[in-house]
Amino acid sequence: MALEDSARGKGDRTMSLGFIAQYAAEAALQTDGVASLEHSSVAAFKDSFGVEHEGEGVEVRFKAEQEGLVDITVYPVIYFGRMIPEVAWQIQVNVKADVEKYTGLIVNSVNVYVRDIIPQEEGFDA
């Protein structure tokens, strides 16, 4: 497999981009204030041509120059009334911690691009 498609983790297992993206997506969705994740424009473009994308609302890129380093980009939808910088910071912390814990990779960066802000759910206290 090419470096873009997989990376070495602890031991001899290999991981696909989708596997890593799934951990990142789950961590982002568990962050307080995150309603959902949306595709990036690149993912939407890939979908329009029938090309499968690695994860819903998450992009994963391996650092070509260093094995085991990964850059992650998350595209969240945030609830109205939340402090966006605080939610974005917590997404970064959660994604980095979970991906490093469960994959053994080193997260070089977690970029957060807020895609939308939506009304609060019923019963939500800001």
Whether residue 3 is contained in a domain is answered as no
pLDDT at 77: 95
> What DSSP letter does each residue of the chain carry, written as one string?
--TTTEEE-STT-EEEHHHHHHHHHHHHHTSTTEEEE---HHHHHHHHTTPPPSSTTEEEEE-TTSTTEEEEEE-EEEETTS-HHHHHHHHHHHHHHHHHHHH--EEEEEEE---EEEPPPTT---
Whether residue 62 is contained in a domain is answered as yes
pLDDT at 45: 59
- Residues shown for the chain: 126
Whether residue 56 is contained in a domain is answered as yes
* CB count in 10 Å sphere of residue 38: 17
Q: How far apart are CA 119 and CA 35, in angstroms?
A: 10
Whether residue 87 is contained in a domain is answered as yes
pTM of the model: 0.76
pLDDT tens-digit series, residues 83-121: 999 999 999 999 999 999 999 999 999 999 999 999 986
Whether residue 123 is contained in a domain is answered as no
Return the higher-pLDDT residue of 2 and 79.
79
pLDDT at 63: 83
Mean pLDDT of 62-76: 89
Structural domain for 72, as ranges = 15-118
Tokens 């009334």 — which residue?
A: 81
**Total tally of structural domains belonging to the chain:** 1
pLDDT tens-digit series, residues 2-54: 444 444 444 434 568 888 999 999 999 999 999 999 875 655 555 555 555 55
pLDDT at 52: 54
Check whether 76 has a pLDDT greater than 50: yes
CATH number at residue 93: 3.30.70.1350
Whether residue 9 is contained in a domain is answered as no
Whether residue 58 is contained in a domain is answered as yes
